[in-house]
A and B are shown apart, each in its own frame.
Chain A
């Protein structure tokens, strides 16, 4: 049951990774690797959040770290720089709902300036959602970049044939 849940989470993430990746024109040979990375990353985050009840920011960091390590290996297999593989794979993990709620709260805040209680609630909603969204995006990028710092030689010569 847990296994199918994780699988059902990874599959849409793979499609999302490939689709958002296509917007940035990756080389064709990279698509299969991007799909695997996106699925594995999102599934790891799903498992950490649901079964170990970690928060979204730290779970995203762990998932991004795994994507980074895997992209070091996949990069060697496909002669693609790590960023080409891991940036599209990170995109499905961008916390869209939090970003949306932050925007919505900001708009409602502007609308309720004459009713201070409502404005207060909106402001709180804005800050908590914006902090989660910004923190998660930052940790996603940092997590995936750490393997580059740990294995610089390998990471820098990945496209060497």
Chain B
């Protein structure tokens, strides 16, 4: 058995699984992985699926193969990994970095601290509030949407920290946010706009757009599974929203 080939394949498999899990579209994963493979003198062929990926590393010098199947971890979307790991693949290619240096840099990138969850909470509240402004909400609606988003996003963060099923997280968060936004019914303001925008922070925009990119680029299977997953999450948002609409329906009409 060719140990060097095996170690290379293991690194690239881990690298590609991390990229896939953190919301990178398929063609970039393939390009980056092949680039690293090339820098280490092996040819990489791989198939990316939604839950796992299959990779074969081929060394032309001694005509040996190694195949690896890895599960894709469920990571939150992380664009920092996307840019830093892409950068790493070019660095590996240009400077011909050896495998141990690659592992070190890879672990460094993964160990970088994430943004404070409270800052993300605040920013998403502001984002949804300005969304409400874009849709023509007045000041009261904007204020209430801001607070409703804080409540909904906080619910989501707390539930995700406890690793509760995604679909339940989305349904409950959408319900919390839209119930809070329904308090606009007490005021003389654009309640419809407020209720509609309050759940928009949950829209899985990254898988939606990545799915379309994948399909357009010919990775139809991966793209469809991304879209299907995004669609299910949207159904969950709709379910949470409908629940609060049912409660306040007579007054929203």
Which residues from chain A sit less than 8 Å from chain B, CB to CB?
Answer: 9, 11-13, 15-27, 30, 42, 79-81, 83-84, 87-88, 90-92, 94, 96-97, 99-101, 103-104, 106-107, 137-138, 140-142, 144-145, 156-157, 159-161
Contact = CB atoms under 8 A, between A and B. Distances in A.
B213 A83 contact: yes
Interface string B110-121: 000011000110
B124 A84 contact: no
A25 B205 contact: no
B91 interface: yes
Interface residues of B, number: 59
Nearest to A146: B216
B127 A18 contact: yes
A42 to B, nearest CB: 7
Contacts of A19: 123-128, 130, 201
Nearest to A19: B127
Given A23-B124, A87-B209, A94-B205, A42 B77 contact: no
Given A9-B134, A87-B206, 12 more contacts: A12-B133, A19-B124, A19-B128, A25-B77, A27-B83, A92-B130, A97-B193, A107-B242, A138-B212, A142-B212, A145-B213, A159-B90
Nearest to A21: B79
Nearest to B24: A83
A18 B82 contact: no
The 3 closest A-B pairs by CB, nearest first: A19-B127, A141-B212, A12-B130
B205 A15 contact: no
Interface of B: 23-25, 28, 31, 76-80, 82-84, 86-87, 89-91, 94, 114-115, 119-120, 123-128, 130-131, 133-135, 193, 195-197, 199-201, 203, 205-206, 208-213, 216-217, 234, 238, 241-242, 245-246, 249
A103 B238 contact: yes
B56 to A, nearest CB: 23
B134 A27 contact: no
A25 B25 CA distance: 16
Given A25-B79, A27-B79, A20 B90 contact: no
Given A19-B124, A22-B120, A83-B25, A159 B130 contact: no
Main secondary structure of the interface of A (DSSP, over half): helix
A141 B209 contact: yes
A137 B130 CA distance: 20
Main secondary structure of the interface of B (DSSP, over half): helix
Nearest to B124: A19
B209 A96 contact: no
A109 to B, nearest CB: 12
Contacts of B125: 19
B123 A18 contact: yes
Contacts of A27: 79-80, 83-84
B79 A16 contact: no
Contact of B134 (A22, A42, A103): A42
B109 to A, nearest CB: 11
Nearest to B199: A100
B87 A159 contact: yes
A22 B123 contact: yes
B208 A141 contact: yes
Contacts of B86: 81, 159
Nearest to B142: A12
Given A22-B119, A79-B87, A156-B31, A94 B200 contact: yes
